[in-house]
Amino acid sequence: MPTRPAGTHRGTHRGTQRADDTGGADGSGPSPRGRRSTPYLLISPGLVVLGLLFVVPLGSLLVTSLKTGSFAEGFETAVRLRNYSDALSESWEPIKRSFVFALVATVAAGAIGYPLAYVIAFRGGRYKNVLLGLVVLPFFTSFLMRTLAWKTILSDSGSITSAFDRLHLLSLFEFLHLVPDGSDRLLQTNVSVIGGLTYNFLPFMVLPIYVSLEKIDRRLVEAARDLYSGAFRAFRTVVLPLSIPGVMAGSLLTFIPAAGDFVNAELLGGPQQTMVGNRIQSRFFEQVDYPAAASLSFVLMALILIGVLLYARLLGTEELTG
Amino acid sequence: MSTIARRLAPRLLDAWAGVALLYLFTPIFVIVAFSFNDARRFNVIWQGFSLDAWRHWTDSEPLTDALTLSIKIAALSTLAATVLGSLIALALVRHRFTGSGVTNLLLVLPLTTPEVVLGSSLLSLFIDLGVSRGFWTIVAAHAMFCVSYVAVTVKARIRGFDWTLEDAAMDLGASPLRTFRTVTFPLILPGIVAAALLSFALSIDDFIITFFNSGNEQTFPLYIYSQQRRGLGPEVNVVATLILLVSFGLAVSSIFVQRFRARPGPR
């Protein structure tokens, strides 16, 4: 999907503002005929929809997250910050688990996706587009059906589980605390849920990495080779640094939906794999405790925002806006 | 590096890519294969080959109802999102204006917000306003997140076009409307079609946001979710396979249309 790298907005915002200050409407860029109000007429219907269905709902969620009362007695508007401390203390385990699972799934998707994107971009030749199509094709079927198919594949009687057992991979997973001690199954363990998350968000990792690899000027690699750099060294000093923006974008686009997902945990996991998404869903629909659900949603959003900012700081905002 | 390693490394890379593709396709094989399974409710264990599900996949009314509903919702929300999103993209690419930064921010934020948050915040608003959840709340929710996808896709596709063609048309005396109809619109159409297809695919498969805002309505993904505990029959696999085939066909034909259109003139 040709989505812009997540988190680019800050840089884009600043860049455009600068252009406005200096250049103005009659700068050297595209300057179509027509009145100055034209762009505002074009954006306003869409922005009204985004305002009413994205910004206003977030405001409503914030108000709900601070309410007091219960479903039976009715909720009342208040500023009850205890909802937040309650949400954090009650659901700390699922929150932590969501971030750990999403992190492991992101790293796994990178490990699977980077070489795949590399092979398509550099060794695909004239089959490049076909290979790229093959990467996206599985995601045209239903998300739930794909996840349920994994349930079939990983089922206790399935050949994958027994093969893993025979290859002593289950003991390895046990050692890594990915499955409980003495487990002879994959389903309803951390392995199945993390595997599902990795699978379902893999294209979000592969596509941005592919785009950034594809943009690299091949002559740079040739120059490195001409200067007697080995293939691996050429990769490490030329290709890898230039593909970092794609890796950044791919990681964010994988991590964010994985951290908020509840389908994989519900279909492939057990009670020990509850994630924060499952909690939000059950607080809304089972306990009908809207303030608790809303404050959990906000905690999730805030933690992701902090994570994204730290990540940007760690790797430099230049790469993010690239 | 030794010669063996130098020879082996590319082979290993190719093999890794092959394994990754196999990983991507494993569940798809399972979905398609089990649409031919001779099973009723619990379509988890292979019972033998049968074409029954393919012959009678329309028999289950809840399933076909759910599928029809999903198609209706996807069509309406795609229509709305494509118009609104393309207009925003056009404004951002063709004009410089104060507030374009905020517009970009507003487009990217829904894409970087987890779906549970989008879904639950909309639900919170609908509860506040006393709006009962159903068909139109699902359409509204889908249109919202699809606007962002459409705008971002169209923007990426039409950036760097040669807009002086418009000036040329106007210089030759074409009215603004005629310029749009004969120059601008044909130029941006492929990008819009690609964005619309993406939007349709996202809407028809959306589960999390829909789950929060559906009320008693049951879209295809919600049908799968509600039935999976009681067991899904092979006819659901047939529908999933059909969706795969249709989207594959659309993707292939859109590539061909683009090649065909690209041939006559430059760009």
Query: What gap in Å lies between CA A57 and CA A135, rounded to an integer?
Result: 35
Sign of the four-CA dihedral A101, A106, A109, A110: negative
Does any CB of chain B come closer than 8 Å to the CB of residue A130?
no
What's the number of CA atoms in the CB half-sphere (13 Å) around residue A124?
22
B103–chain A Cβ distance below 8 A for any pair: yes
DSSP one-letter string for A59-78 = HHHHHHHT-EEETTTEEE--
Show residues of chain B in contact with A134, CB under 8 Å: 21, 24-25
pLDDT greater than 70 at residue B67: yes
Select from A20, A30, A145 the Cβ nearest to the Cβ of B94: A30
Residue in B13, B109, B224 nearest the CB of A142: B224
3-state secondary structure B211-240: HHHCCCCCCHHHHHHHHCCCCCCHHHHHHH
ipTM of the complex: 0.88
Helix or strand or coil: residue B49? strand
Rounded to whole angstroms, the Cα distance separating A193 from A108 reads: 13
Closest CA to B44 of B31, B63, B54, B55: B31
Provide CB contacts within 8 A for B240, sequence distance 6+. Answer: A141, A142, A145, B31, B35
Residue A166 identity: R
Other C-beta atoms within 10 Å of A226: how many? 10
Residue A92's identity, in one-letter code, is W
Nearest to A49 among B147, B211, B255 (CB): B147
Mean pLDDT, residues A35-62 taken together:
92
Least confident residue range of A39-48, A68-77, B16-25, B211-220: A68-77
- Summarised one tens digit per residue, pLDDT across range B154-206 is 998 888 788 888 889 999 999 989 998 998 888 889 889 989 988 999 999 99
Interface check for A14 against chain B (CB to CB < 8 A): the answer is yes
CA A33 – CA B180 distance, rounded (Å):
12
Contact of B205 with chain A, judged by CB distance below 8 Å, is answered with yes
Q: How high is the pLDDT of residue A316?
A: 58
pLDDT of residue A107: 97
Q: pLDDT for A4-41, tens place per residue? A: 444 444 434 443 443 333 333 444 444 455 567 889 99
pLDDT score at A34: 58
Lowest-confidence segment of A78-87, A111-120, B203-212 by average pLDDT = A78-87
Asked whether the beta carbons of A33 and B169 are under 8 A apart, the reply is: no
* The overall pTM is greater than 0.80: yes
CA distance B28 to chain A (A): 6
Say how far apart CA A119 and CA B70 lie, in whole Å.
Answer: 37
Query: Testing the interface with A: which of B46, B121, B146, B147 to mutate, by most A Cβ within 10 A?
Result: B121
